[in-house]
Structure 1
Amino acid sequence: MASVLVLGGTSWLGGLIAHDAVVRGHDVTCLARGESGHAPANVTFVEADRSRRGAYDDVLDRRWDLVIDVSRQPGHVRSAVEALGGVSSHWTFVSTGSVYADQSVALTEESPVLAPHPHDDADPEHYGEAKVACEQAVSALRHHLIVRAGLIGGPGDPSDRLGYYVSRFASAGADPVLVPGDVAQPMQVVDVRDLAAFVLHAAESGATGVVHGVGEQTTVGELVRRSAEAAGFTGRCVEADPGWLRSHRVEEWMGPRSLPLWLPFSHRGMGMMDDRRALDLGLARRPVDSTLRDVLVDERTRGLDRPRRAGLTRADELKLLADLRT
């Protein structure tokens, strides 16, 4: 049994990491504000705001075998390393493929990264640069592992990206659905449950350095097709050219009025992240069809037609479909 400190542990990925650590028999503590959700059962929860002095005072009285941090704010990571670096044996930081300077090409762990964000706090527009700064802080520790995650999907996804198509297909029935026309665009999606298990396994094994936490390489067209199959869709997928979509103010990737998973050429490397080191370190991935079926169950529970953080409303989509036919 190891002593495990999860810095976070109340949000989606962090919560699953903490849950898995409990299931594996570890003594688990989560330190967080608790605003993103509740800590899993059978963990010790320490409420703390990492932006404030003394945030780590309540966890300095013991040695931690494993520290796992999922933060995106450089100041949070720097302060944690300064306070806890001397009482931890191994440190894992969950980063992102967004750290790479050129995301238009296939990516390895050695690909050049962006310049680090210079400040303690960063807005979402500087997400990649902020994660680079976080990585730099963690790299000062002797035994550290950086897991650069690709697109994450699965039940409970707060971004609503992977669930968009399977839920739209399920609600559309036999009616048409608008999809990106760039069907050959590379894409990788890792199930959040597989990523959480890998992060914990790699930490337990004492792995160090940098590794990608990514799904199998596929395409947007294949993911859309499999989503339609999972939902039992009997209608027609209407493909729209990227230029047409942009001219009609449809955004790529995520966010309001978007077609999720569709990427500009400048970011296609997010679907071409090398997974060889991850597989060598024990990354195990369930079939994407299994993930999509579970996502659909989750989407039905949360409401197929609920307001979403990513995708088109059905009303917007129907108007675009009508415009596409004229």
Structure 2
Amino acid sequence: MYEAIVFAASLRAKSPKFSGRLILAEPQAGALWRKDPTINSPEVRTLLMNLGAEIIPFENKHFGQAYPYGNKIEALGILPAGEPFVFFDTDTLITGELTDVPFDFNVPSASTRVTGTWPKEDLYWPGYAATWKSLYDKFGLDYDSSLDLNEPAEFWRRHLYFNAGFFYYKCPKIFGERFLEYALAIRDDRPDELVLQELDPWLDQVALPLVIHSLGGKRDALPNGFLDGKTSCHYRLLPLLYARESDHLVETLETVTAPNKIKKVLKEYEPMLRMIYQGRGQKARALFNQNDLPRREQAIRNTLKREGFWMR
């Protein structure tokens, strides 16, 4: 809920031309949750609404506590059918004018700022091609047309794979129903080729490329440099933001969180209190040369943990 405040504040500050709806989907307490997942702070709720967010409840019928990443799948059901949408994870910062992004909502896509997190190589696994092809075959999709033939065989980038930090399409009902159908089918009846693969927390990212491909989408539908570029950043965790993102992004974060009405609420959340307002983020940033970062994210994480700057 605190990340949602930062997202909404950055949207208002950096995209003044945006006149669409900002819908914040709120999961409701129920049998699939051990604890109440709703916004438990009246101050947070009020601030979000003052920033123009429409807080709309939805019921978890399939995922919930067992797989909270499924929220993004089930939440699509509350969006108005037939209207173009862009989904963003809350741990996203808007850094430029969103209306300048040249979306073609007829051709869905998602974030390509991704590493090869799934499937995992294993001594006894059938390989990337057999693993992915089994999923395309399961849903009657053409596997060969999904491949990037500029990449070598048995390299993960040859296969359609996205980060689910953002995705978009012309209709949330169509996209959401397909996403739910595929995710549940993979979870409940996986192909034999996936028997050695973990699906938690990867299930949404396994199903997402299949959904996009089935709806006529592709990896390069959106020109490079906009989302997860000059217009937005899926930073994921504040220590990673400070360690590796641009000066403009850090400046945007600290500017949009500076007003007293926002600061007063965000200081309730310890990672934001310490990283943003007590200056620990800038100290963490000083550990790294942003023009020569370690190639692997794990190396960045290890340095932050070793120096006492890791928070989540």
Give TM-score scaled by structure 1 length. Answer: 0.32
Q: Which has the higher contact order (CA 8 A, sep 6+)?
A: 2
Larger % of helix: which? 2
Compare the two structures and name the one with the higher strand fraction: 1
